[in-house]
A and B are shown apart, each in its own frame.
Chain A
Amino acid sequence: MEIVVCVKPVPDAETRLRVAPDGTALDPEGVKFVLAGYDESAVEQALLLKEANPGSKVHVVSAGPPPRTEEVLRAALALGCDSATWVEMPPGVSADPVAAARSLARAVSGAAHDLVLVGKQAGDDEAGVVGGALAELLGMPDFTAVLDLRWDAAAARLRFQRSTEAGVEKWESPVPCLVSLQQAWNDPRTAKLPAILKSRKTPIAKVAPDPSPEPHGATRSVKFELPPPRTGAKLIEFKTPEEAAQRLVKVLKEEAKVFP
């Protein structure tokens, strides 16, 4: 099976957020960008499928500026992806998720693909839009909130579960299709040193971004704000557990007004 997995470099979860001088974005100064969260889990899922289905190949693609995008592609190669394509975006342009999907579509459609995998959402903008937009651009059905993805070679069907508001749904689908993974039900592997060294020399194919007149897409961030710092919890004073319970219920009722 030919698997394409799409990833995005995102700020490390420990990043201390600061507002850029123009007030519309995260200040990227000093931020460490990594392959993380749902994307890391999507790469792991791609590699598990490859291992379970001999002869499969995993191709990783990403659209973004240097140097962070090349770095996450090399991280994915070090984990075991076979090849990589980079849609190099100009620095300083913050593509909205749909603009990113348009660029990714150029890379995906140029590669063999039975299955396109994406993470549920990026850890920074949390839009969760790339998968659906990309599926629409590629003209294939897609599924979000997917868990437990397996390939049934005899029936030529993907079988998986989806965790939606209705509960856990069981599905099957022919390929090609796009799958957006819900969460890290897998435990992503870590790269070994020889693979990291090898990944540095692996050639990365390049594709030009979508030549749209509005490279940022149809939406534009006009303000980026940090919430006022939380002042810390108001601690409930008590002598007995019963007193703690009574006082907490009282503040939830009368002060916070969230008691059901």
Chain B
Amino acid sequence: MSAPALVVGELHDGHLSDGTKEAIAVAQSVSGNDAVVGFLAGAESRAAAAGFGEYGVSRVLVAEDPRLDAAVASVVAQLVSTAADSVSADLVVVGGTTHGRDLVAHLAVRWNAAVATGVTRLDRTATGLEARRPVFGGRATETRRLEGARAAVALRPHAFPAVEPASVAVTVTTVPLDGIPPGHWMPKRLGVEVASRGSGPTLTDATIVVSGGRGVRTADNFRLVEELASSLGAAVGASRAVTDAGWRPQGYQVGQTGKAVSPQLYVAVGISGAIQHLVGMVSSRVIVAINSDASAPIFKVADYGIVGDLFQIVPALTQEIRRVRGL
């Protein structure tokens, strides 16, 4: 029997996030269904711990303290190290969020773990764990062997199916909060402004992303892209041309100097496909390009293309999607 794997959970509206469900599935596949232990930190951790039981995880460790909702990664890493050692885990698995990646970076030193981030496949081989991950903006993949006695892995969002439900009773154990250096409590989170992206999903979290580029021509026209995104329940992205022109804020930018996304479906509207943009989206599963220029490089990486006037195609597409989805 292999040593337990610790899944560090994150909550979304009080429930385990999609990334956490993916992490449970991965931990079960490499360590065994009964060898997964959950971990939660923060004010809601104890109340939410039972959520692990809905996915077959019967042991959960919690660090229940409201300060942990806005703690720096070094604090969380110390608690996770303590938790992992308390159950003799040899592996920590987390979802591919900002906090997940931060945590494994700290565990590399704090818990002396071999780490990999952005992982799309994790296998236990005769020589140890091997993690596959896209590099160079999805233009290549590497397989990295995680050597040594401990490993910590952050997944790439949406690269794995979520765990199947399997209801079990949950035993909750408290992780003590001591030995945190006082200075690490001093940074203060002053507030969170939920991004003004309306009700849509966030860019890096979304399973569908619709992005607009220079081809939309004006800030006002960008609403065509947003309406298409809304019909699909997608997040809205943009190329650098759009954010540089100030048509939409910097936070929308997908690409080398913006966000990297890897949704199931990426729709590029009026984007020519400069390499700086491609490195941020080329690892999307299915790419659709709509552009009037048949020679635009975006058509080389896209799976499906429509060569045509976006001002005609996009409204028609939005209408058709709404019709088919019954919206």
Which positions in A face B, CB cutoff 8 Å? 11, 13-14, 17, 25-26, 37-38, 41, 96-98, 101, 123-133, 135-137, 139-145, 147, 162-174, 177, 183-185, 214, 217-227, 230, 232-236, 238, 240-242, 244-246, 248-249, 251-253, 256, 258-260
Q: For the complex formed, measure the closest distance between the CB of B253 and the CB atoms of chain A, giving whole angstroms.
A: 7
Query: How far is B276's CA from A258's CA once the two chains are assembled, in angstroms?
Result: 25
Cα A170 to Cα B304 with chains together (Å): 40
**Across the interface, which residues of A come within 8 angstroms of B204, CB to CB?**
165
- Range of interface residues on chain B? 35 or more
Complex-state Cα separation, A232 to B301, whole angstroms:
6
- 5 of the cross-chain contacts (CB-CB < 8 Å) are A101-B108, A133-B105, A142-B102, A222-B130, A234-B305
Chain B residue nearest in CB terms to A25: B142
Chain B residues within 8 Å of A140, by CB: 183
Known: A135-B106, A141-B187, A169-B192. A220 touches B147 (CB 8 A): yes
Chain A residues near B260 (CB, 8 Å)? 126
Contact A224 B140 (CB under 8 A): yes
Q: Is the Cβ of B109 less than 8 Å from the Cβ of A133?
A: yes
Chain A residue nearest in CB terms to B143: A223
Among B188, B202, B256, which residue has its beta carbon within 8 angstroms of that of A171?
Answer: B188
A96 to B109, CA, bound (A): 13
**B205 with A144: CB separation less than 8 A:** no
Separation of A164 and B95 alpha carbons in the complex (Å) = 14
Kindly state whether residue B264 has any CB partner on chain A within 8 Å.
yes
Chain B residues, CB < 8 A from A166: 192, 194
Bound-complex Cα distance A249 to B232 (A):
11
Nearest CB of chain B from residue A20's CB, rounded to whole Å: 11
CA distance A34 to B141 in the complex (A): 21
- Asked if residues A136 and B118 are in contact (CB atoms below 8 Å), the reply is no
A interface majority secondary structure: mixed
- For A234, what are the chain B residues with a Cβ–Cβ distance below 8 Å? 303-305
Q: Does B285 contact A172, Cβ atoms closer than 8 Å? A: no
Judging by beta carbons under 8 Å apart, are B136 and A17 in contact? yes
Q: Check B144–A242 contact: CB distance below 8 A.
A: no
CA gap between A144 and B101 in the complex, in Å: 10
Residues of A within 8 A of B317 (CB): 241, 244-245, 248-249
The 3 closest A-B pairs by CB, nearest first: A132-B105, A233-B305, A173-B187
A38 to B260 alpha-carbon distance, docked (Å): 12
Cβ distance A90 to chain B, nearest Cβ, rounded Å: 19
Distance in Å from the Cβ of B125 to the closest Cβ of chain A? 10
Which of B41-49, B69-77, B85-93, B159-167 forms contacts with chain A? B69-77
Q: Is the CB of A232 within 8 A of B300?
A: yes
Say whether A218 contacts B286, CB under 8 Å: no
A167 and B194: CB pair below 8 A?
yes
Q: Which residue of A lies closest to B69 (CB)?
A: A166
Indicate if B169 sits at the interface (CB-CB under 8 A): no
Query: Which residues of the partner chain B approach A41 to less than 8 Å between Cβ atoms?
Result: 257
B275 within 8 A of A: yes
